[in-house]
Each structure stands twice: as structure tokens, then as C-alpha cells.
């Protein structure tokens, strides 16, 4: 199977995911410490990810979404959903 190559701005993608997580935290009335505990991601690595200093992998995004009771697709940029279809 040939997967199309798509140029992705990793820094921009990370920043967008981080921003979406921050919005979801506010809407949930939660904080980074409780998200860390609920997602199984260490507090400092999560904090670094939300500051754009560390990448989140797919499993971490999924764990965060589950902890916030939202769909993982809510946290990723729309162009990823387009690639998956």
C-alpha cells in the first residue's frame, strides 16, 4: 500500500494540538495536574508538551482525550482527519 507523502509542519501541529488540549481543559473545568494523573502522562512531560517543548504521540493524545471524555479527533488538526479518510 502506498501512503501519500504529505508535508506537515510539526511545530504548528504540536501547537494546535496543545491549544486544543488547553481549551478542552478549560471546558472540562480541569487542570494539568489532574489531566496528568487521569491520562497516565507525567506532569512535567505533559507541561512541556503543552508549552510546545515536547511532542505528544498518538497514544498520549488518545489517553488525554479519554481522560477528558472527548474524541481524540477533537484534539488533532482537521487535515489529519482528511488523510485518514
Extents of the domains making up the chain: 10-84
Which has the higher per-residue pLDDT, 21 or 9?
21
Burial of 67 (0-12, 13-18, 19+ CB in 10 A): buried
Mention the CATH class of domain 10-84: mainly alpha
Report if pTM > 0.85. Answer: no
Predicted confidence (pLDDT) per residue in 46-68, tens digit: 999 999 899 999 999 999 999 99
Cα 83 from Cα 43, distance rounded (Å): 31
Amino acid at each position: 500500500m502506498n501512503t501519500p507523502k504529505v508535508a506537515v509542519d510539526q511545530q504548528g501541529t504540536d501547537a494546535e494540538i496543545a491549544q486544543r488540549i488547553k481549551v478542552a481543559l478549560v471546558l472540562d473545568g480541569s487542570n494539568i495536574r489532574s489531566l496528568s494523573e487521569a491520562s497516565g502522562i507525567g506532569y512535567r512531560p505533559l507541561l512541556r508538551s503543552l508549552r510546545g517543548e515536547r511532542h505528544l504521540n498518538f497514544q498520549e493524545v488518545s489517553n488525554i482525550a479519554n481522560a477528558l471524555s472527548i474524541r481524540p479527533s477533537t484534539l488533532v488538526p482537521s487535515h489529519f482527519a482528511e488523510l485518514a479518510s
